[in-house]
């Protein structure tokens, strides 16, 4: 592949750049990382992310200057296999997992990643959310099989962490192009109300209040309560809710909320959390599309790396993160999407504007996959 | 003198009347222009994504001011910094302007659910 590299500035969109660099084989240089900050340079969680990337690849070259404000990354071969990683608790496992989801199908050996750290925090998509939205999305692209799983072994809330998940993913030689243009109507809502190191009653209180909002739309709502105890409950107390709306065409929209980490701001009542989370789900439904707003970039990446055929996906409004991702895809793969805005009809009650994304895949093929 | 003043007032009134009528001129044309402007705004999403981005670089020279001719005060520009060194997070923050307690909002998504109205030719299996 082309050997010329790309240069960026700042620590934002850090994972996108390194992931796309790894997949495209182009080296990348990131300058001015928090260069004018009181504490300049890379943070611990970013260093932890680089270490994880180093574990799943073979022969990557990583150079960081003394102050940590400049990073040079030359990707190696995506090796995969069995990996264990202690994720820095500044960010939740979701932060690391989002990148692994993008890389896992393109490895030499099927990935089995054992990640330890914070499973749920208010910042990043939690492991529960990724399990219920990202995995079914990837299945639509032909990444499937018995070994495709994400299991929450132990739950660990922020800030202490102490949680553990196991992510296993098969490898694919090519990715199937998709046509996801019709989300279909929402047939049911499922959810998980989790609580650790607090009264198990918290879960029930969350469920009650979330149902009170959602029952105006659907009767088919089931929210599981998940109360983990003892060694499986991590180091910090907390609770939260993940809601997922499933449509007739098998699209998943989700929303979640987590309690404020211990010692960081005002505590929240489980009733408020449940109600607000339900409203977040309604907001997500209003945005709509076939893909959840936090998985937009994953869908776009798999479209880009698909076989040389047309892929179409209907999304809700593009998030700022996704817009930047589209620019990065252009930089690394020279692919530009056709972007069409679909305004809702006058008498339609299906939320806001949608965006139809169309592209022709680059015909990426996983050459490192072992032939059996 | 008084007469003059009243004359002027009358003039002003006349002008006002004319001004009041002037906004009615070319209403149709202006409506057409506004429509075209809106039409242009729609495909601009592509321009927004792929168009030339104003690089959010921190300008070294500008935020340095001399203090006593010897030291330089470095003031990071918050607004520009947000872009390049902001938190790397894929979450899409919800629009705070939407009130999900109101019936109006709830009605706007009613047909997204199986319990809503179905299009012709479609049916719950």
Interface probe with A: pick from B72, B76, B88, most Cβ of A within 10 Å = B88
Q: For B71-100, what is the mean pLDDT?
A: 74
pLDDT digits (tens, 9 = 90+) for B99-123: 899 898 999 999 999 998 887 766 6
Across the interface, of A34, A216, A349, the residue whose CB is closest to B85 is: A34
The predicted structure's pLDDT at residue A41: 93
- Band (pLDDT 50/70/90 cuts) for residue A274 is very high
- Whether residue A4 is predicted with pLDDT greater than 50 in this model: the reply is yes
Three-state DSSP at B72 gives strand
The predicted structure's pLDDT at residue A176: 94
- Band (pLDDT 50/70/90 cuts) for residue B81 is very low
- Band (pLDDT 50/70/90 cuts) for residue A124 is very high
What average pLDDT does chain A have? 94
Considering only A44-58, A82-96, A231-245, B62-76, which range has the smallest mean pLDDT? B62-76
- Band (pLDDT 50/70/90 cuts) for residue A13 is very high
Considering only A255-264, A341-350, B108-117, which range has the smallest mean pLDDT? A341-350
Q: For A227-249, what is the mean pLDDT?
A: 95
- Whether residue B41 is predicted with pLDDT greater than 90 in this model: the reply is no
Across the interface, of B50, B87, B112, the residue whose CB is closest to A185 is: B112
What average pLDDT does chain B have? 71
- Whether residue B61 is predicted with pLDDT greater than 80 in this model: the reply is no
Task: Find chain A residues with C-beta within 8 A of B46's C-beta.
Answer: 338-339
Q: With CB atoms and an 8 Å threshold, state whether B113 touches A9.
A: no
Interface probe with A: pick from B89, B101, B117, most Cβ of A within 10 Å = B89
Task: Find chain A residues with C-beta within 8 A of B42's C-beta.
Answer: 341, 343
- Whether residue A208 is predicted with pLDDT greater than 60 in this model: the reply is yes
The predicted structure's pLDDT at residue A331: 95
Q: With CB atoms and an 8 Å threshold, state whether B94 touches A283.
A: yes
Across the interface, of A186, A216, A336, the residue whose CB is closest to B112 is: A186
The predicted structure's pLDDT at residue B59: 44
The predicted structure's pLDDT at residue A174: 92
- Whether residue B63 is predicted with pLDDT greater than 70 in this model: the reply is no
pLDDT digits (tens, 9 = 90+) for A278-314: 999 999 999 999 999 999 999 999 999 999 999 999 9
Nearest residue of A to residue B89, measured between CA atoms = A124
What domains, with CATH codes, occur in chain A? 186-287 (3.30.360.20)
The predicted structure's pLDDT at residue A1: 45
The predicted structure's pLDDT at residue B4: 63
């Amino acid at each position: 592949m082309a050997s010329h590299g790309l240069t960026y500035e700042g620590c934002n969109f850090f994972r996108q750049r390194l992931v796309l660099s790894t997949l495209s084989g182009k080296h990348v240089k990131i300058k001015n990382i928090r260069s004018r900050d009181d504490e300049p340079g890379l943070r611990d969680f970013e260093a932890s992310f680089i270490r994880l990337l180093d574990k799943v690849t073979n022969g990557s070259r990583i150079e960081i200057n003394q102050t940590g404000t400049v990073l040079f990354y030359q990707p190696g071969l995506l090796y995969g296999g069995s990996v264990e990683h202690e994720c820095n608790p500044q960010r939740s496992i979701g932060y690391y997992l989002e990148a692994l989801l993008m890389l896992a199908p393109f490895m030499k050996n099927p990935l089995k990643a054992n990640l330890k750290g914070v499973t749920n925090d208010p910042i990043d998509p939690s492991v529960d959310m990724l399990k219920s939205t990202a995995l079914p999305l990837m299945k639509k692209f032909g990444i499937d099989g018995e070994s495709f799983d994400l299991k929450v072994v132990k739950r660990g809330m922020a800030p202490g962490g102490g949680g553990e998940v196991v992510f296993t993913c098969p490898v694919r030689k090519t990715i199937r192009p998709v046509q996801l243009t019709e989300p279909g109507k929402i047939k049911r809502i499922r959810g998980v109300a989790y609580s650790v190191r607090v009264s198990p009653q918290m879960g029930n209180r969350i469920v009650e209040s979330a149902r009170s909002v959602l029952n105006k739309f659907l009767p088919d709502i089931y929210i599981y309560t998940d109360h983990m105890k003892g060694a499986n409950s991590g180091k910090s107390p907390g609770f939260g809710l993940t809601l997922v709306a499933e449509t007739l065409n098998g699209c998943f929209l989700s929303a979640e909320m987590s309690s404020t980490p211990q010692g960081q701001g005002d505590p929240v009542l489980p009733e408020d959390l449940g109600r607000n989370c339900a409203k977040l789900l309604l907001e997500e439904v209003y945005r709509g599309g076939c893909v959840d707003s936090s998985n937009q970039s994953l869908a776009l990446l798999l479209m880009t790396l698909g076989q040389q055929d047309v892929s179409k996906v209907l999304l809700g409004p593009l998030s700022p993160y996704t817009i930047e991702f589209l620019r990065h895809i252009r930089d690394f793969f020279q692919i530009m999407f056709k972007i069409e805005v679909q305004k809702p009809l006058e008498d339609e009650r299906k939320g806001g504007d949608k965006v139809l994304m169309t592209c022709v895949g680059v015909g990426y093929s996983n050459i490192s996959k072992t032939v059996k | 003198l008084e007469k003059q003043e009243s004359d002027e007032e009358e003039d002003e009134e006349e002008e006002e009347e004319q001004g009041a009528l002037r906004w009615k001129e070319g209403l149709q044309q202006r409506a057409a222009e506004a429509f075209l402007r809106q039409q242009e705004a729609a495909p601009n999403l592509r321009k927004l994504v792929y168009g030339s981005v104003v690089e959010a670089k921190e300008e070294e020279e500008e935020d340095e001011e001399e203090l006593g001719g010897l030291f330089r005060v470095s003031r990071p520009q918050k607004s520009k910094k947000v872009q390049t060194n902001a938190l790397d997070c894929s979450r899409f923050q919800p629009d705070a302007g939407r009130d999900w307690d109101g019936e109006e909002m709830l009605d706007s998504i009613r047909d997204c659910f199986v319990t809503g109205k179905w299009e012709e030719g479609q049916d719950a299996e």
